[in-house]
A and B are shown apart, each in its own frame.
Chain A
Amino acid sequence: MKKILFYIIPLLLFVSCTEQIVIDLEKGDPLIGVEASFTDEYKRHEAIISYTSDFYSPESPRMVSGAHVYLVSEYDTIFYAENDNMPGHYLTIDSVAGMQGMNYTLYVDAFNGSDSVHLFASSFMNFNVPSIDSVLIEPFVVSGFQLPNIVCLYPYFQSLDDPTIVYMIKVARNDTLLSDTLTSYSCIPMAGYAGYYVNGPEMLADNMTIPVAYLSTKNLHNGDTITTLIYSIPLDYMAYIYSVSSSMGSNPMMGPPTNVPTNIYPKGQGVGWFYAASVASCKTKYNRTGGIFPWKEN
């Protein structure tokens, strides 16, 4: 519930001042960072392997080249090859698709600068909704006031009856992801509402309405295709995303700062996260002048 404290901090901020400083920090051996996902989309899946760097290092992260990367499931082993044009970026050699309900383990054998390390991370690919029925795009209204230049996306779909499932939302305009930054992903834990029909603006139950995404209308044009992607992700990956958002700084109201969690093992040798996810998507045409029309592409 650390997020609640973020609401409290402004109480002190209104009397506080800040000043930019430089502090002398200890330096340590780099760790290997792994950022990878594996989905049930048929494509070449990517794993990005890089070194951690000194805290104040202004340079781009140093990438890990020459690593041996492979993915193991109950039935198969899938190998990755390093992208010749992008060091540290590893792609599955062939286009493949994961299977919902399967457990996947990613292995990375790499050199951390002084030793060889054998890293691994496991993730279960949750089941996903069979389909998204439609997506409604509406102006953003708060307390009866319509905010200019912002619209909200409300999906219609039957959620799965599993309280541990979290839906992570990504949005693309004309097949280009609008926000592909980790901290900009919107996550919706179903928890007690698992199994409900997600009913657009009347989402979930009672009067509760949660848009799954907010878009600026400045770069939207009539006729644009908005693709809503719903990733069914494990609960701990959502915790990882939120931890990344709040990882910086020390504050006497927050307790000691701690590491962002990782599912990369052995502990203390790697950072980052590997997750498996199943994906459902829906395309919607955006039409500003004619009002807002939900439209589903077959």
Chain B
Amino acid sequence: MKVKTYIVLIVLMLVSQVVVSQTVGTLSGVVRDASTNEILIGVTIYVESLKQGTSTDRDGKYSLKLAPGQYNIKYSFVGYETQQQTETIKAGANLRQNIKMRPDVAMLSEVVVSGEKANRNVSEMSMSIQTLDMITIKKIPALMGEVDVIKTIQLLPGVQAASEGSSGFSVRGGGTDQNLILLDDAPIYNASHFLGFFSVFNNDVVKDATLLKGDMPASYGGRLSSVLDVKVKEEVPAKLTGSGGVGLITSRLALQAPLFQHKTSLLLAARTTYAGLVIPFLGEKLRESNIYFYDLNAKITHEINANNRIYLSAYHGNDAFLMSKQMGVGYGNTSYTARWNHVFNERIASDLSLIQSNYRMYLDIFFDPYDFTVSSQLQDVSAKYNVTALWNENHTSHFGVTATFHNFGQGALNDRGGAVSQYLGLDRSVEVSRKSLEYGLYFSHEQKIDMRWSLRYGLRLSAFQNIGKEDFYLFDNNYNVYDTLHYAQGEIFHTEFQPEPRLALMYRLDEQSSIKASFSRTVQYLQVASNATGGLPFEVWFPSSPNVKPQTCGQMAMGYFRNFNNDAIESSFEVYYKTLNHIVDFKDAAQTYANLLIDGELREGKGRSFGFEMLLRKNIGQVTGWISYTYARSYRTVDDINFGKEYRSPYDRPHNFVAVLNYDITDRLNIAANWIFNTGQPVTYPYGQYSIGNVTYAIYNGTRNESRYPSYHRLDVSMTLKTKAKPWKKWESEWNISVYNAYAHKNTWAVTFEQGEDGTIITNKMYLFSAIPSLSYNFKF
């Protein structure tokens, strides 16, 4: 009954918007870069006489409904020459005008060409959103010289690295598993390479990355905290182009070519490391060790005709570590996306996507009789259909449906030696798999009420079903199994429905400032079986079920946005409050690996996060960058943990300050630096010791996360020198020298205690990095 009501509501909302005047005409088209043919997102299209306008969407498209007449249309975008054209609009007709904008040569040496419309933060409804283009990302000093999307995201307000060097990140106090990471719409369940030091995103293929921290559109679902939407380049280049780089431990190459009369583009990219070649020389113990990762990207974009485009995108990456022929660890992701973009008319377009994503990990031990392999995987197959309707310049709707089949290989044990299965009381070959279906039906409408007020409302209806074949364990109040239910292959044994309303409001104070507010409710049906806080690269995912309710989050946010100096400087102040329900934590000393009864290790509770974020960002000029300060608190209350009282979540780090600076000294020489300060991570320390004979162990008082590591701070610097640009030279290159953690601050990664020979306890701080210099050579042609 409840579901029917929602469906009726959606249909009513949808129908109410189909009111389009037949007495107007339409101006529409695609805006591209004249030199590279790249589509341009966020270009302002402005009708001066009407003081009305719009901007290009993520496909570079725009559409304007205009009364019949002659208009002077202005196309403007930061870093490009403004174009003006006079167009005649006829009633009921669609005038298609594709625009190619020329880069502003005078400005290019001085500006950072942002993928965003200059005043987007003020004029658009979305709040709690950050978009980074690759030009910005590439200028930021990077660990081992490898610029990285996620490492840059970690410098944004409201975002914190899970731990030193990790690709895991926490958004507004949420867990690392609460971020939906998408690569061309395909979910990436583990975005780390090289134990987290790098992410899976090859910077040569990434077009841009958008992080949504709170005001999540209804088209996104499945995670509580954020969406990181990474798009791979898809423009058709004018000619064969390439880019790549050689660093101290990685190399990469990307090629992009036009095919079939420039209707098709093909992108191929590869990246790998040669760190493994060095390891055997680091010591006798590592002589027969190896470490490597690689990833491959491929994308084909084909324009069938003006109204139909298809995109085929693929990613495959693997990490492996072999230690002295005694241990091997590996993990990786593979994803495929096929998207068909169809334009019905100048107002309505759709995207049909078929997506497959696979994440896998394994651990091999070769030490007879401890000779075994533990592995897990998660495979998703999804279908997604999204419709975007630009009814007129004041009304835009998005609606669609998604369905995903999750196949959880929750754990497999192949115990060749027999010792582990004996220890765990399992058969020597065990495989636990669980299956589920996740659905989403959504509708979202954005409405400009008048010149000042704008409103966006939407609803996502999500559903989740557990499917057999499964032996399902029932737990009593003491978390002991009291019964086992056996479900047949394909049998649906549990269904959950959840409404996810979304609401956003904007009041435009003037051309340069606005106030925004939003509310969103999000639901997460997938859990990670890990109580580690460091963004462990070996994560095991499992579904919600009758034992484990889906986690929910309600987030309210409000913000003030103001731009200065003709949008060259933008500022924002956002405050938020989040409540979380049915969040899970693990009981003390939980066994999270290879545990068939993992549901019994979980403890359910609630949480809250609140804070504010301040950002001051300069996008144009010789000096660019941003300064941000975040105050963020995050607490949890979970049965059986901390005596049932509220405790700090592992991501409660109140103060976060980031300064990012880029300075183009000349056309060829750039220096950059960033400095980050974070309150130390919460930690549980012992208060006493107990000695038995020669052995001493620590005593904890049952409270959790009462102490903190020392504060974290780090300075990274880099210098980039480009080769002289000459019109006849097709090959452009640059040298980059960077130092990560320039003043070699020993940031705490872990604290361990050991008993000295005299029986006293020694405390050791473990840190991962001192100052790390690196040198890389990057090129493009």
Contacts and interface: CB of A to CB of B under 8 A. Distances in A.
A249 B422 CA distance: 28
Interface stretch (A47-55, A115-123, A225-233): A47-55
Nearest to B530: A255
A21 B595 CA distance: 36
Contacts of A200: none
B34 interface: no
B688 A163 contact: no
A248 B689 CA distance: 10
Interface stretch (A8-16, A78-86, A99-107): A8-16
A55 B695 contact: no
A67 B694 CA distance: 23
A191 B422 contact: yes
B760 interface: yes
A145 interface: no
Contacts of B593: 1-2, 4-5
A252 B749 contact: yes
B688 A28 contact: yes
A190 B588 CA distance: 26
A19 B329 contact: no
A20 B746 contact: no
Contacts, number: 238
A19 B768 CA distance: 11
Nearest to A267: B702
A208 B681 CA distance: 44
A43 B683 CA distance: 46
Interface string A256-293: 11111100000010011000000000000000000000
Given A8-B538, A163-B425, A249-B752, A30 B764 contact: no
Interface size, B (range): 35 or more
B591 A248 contact: no
B482 interface: no
B589 A33 contact: no
Contacts of B162: 252
A256 B684 contact: yes
Interface stretch (B93-101, B123-131, B362-370): B362-370
B464 interface: no
A1 B692 CA distance: 25
A14 B531 contact: no
Interface in A2-59: 2, 4-5, 7-8, 10-12, 14-23, 25-28, 30-31, 33, 35, 48, 50, 52-58
A216 interface: no
Interface stretch (B146-154, B211-219, B413-421, B453-461): B413-421
B753 interface: yes
A61 interface: yes
Interface centre among B590, B591, B594, B692 (most CB of A within 10 A): B692
A222 interface: no
A193 B422 contact: yes
A258 B700 contact: yes
B683 A14 contact: no
Contacts of B592: 1, 255
A114 interface: no
Nearest to A1: B593
B260 interface: no
Given A253-B534, A256-B531, A248 B697 contact: yes
Nearest to A257: B684
B531 A16 contact: no
Nearest to A271: B690
B195 A11 contact: yes
B750 interface: yes
A5 B532 CA distance: 11
B695 A181 contact: yes
Nearest to A273: B692
A56 B591 CA distance: 29
B766 interface: yes
Interface in B536-555: 536, 538
B586 interface: yes
Interface in B421-443: 421-427
Given A55-B689, A209-B368, 10 more contacts: A4-B363, A18-B764, A23-B707, A23-B751, A26-B706, A28-B701, A33-B690, A163-B425, A255-B532, A259-B699
Interface of A: 1-2, 4-5, 7-8, 10-12, 14-23, 25-28, 30-31, 33, 35, 48, 50, 52-58, 60-61, 142-143, 163, 180-183, 188-193, 204-210, 243-244, 247-261, 268, 271-272
7 contacts: A1-B591, A26-B706, A27-B687, A53-B690, A207-B418, A248-B752, A271-B699
Q: What 4 pairs between A and B have smallest CB-CB spacing?
A: A252-B534, A255-B531, A249-B752, A208-B418
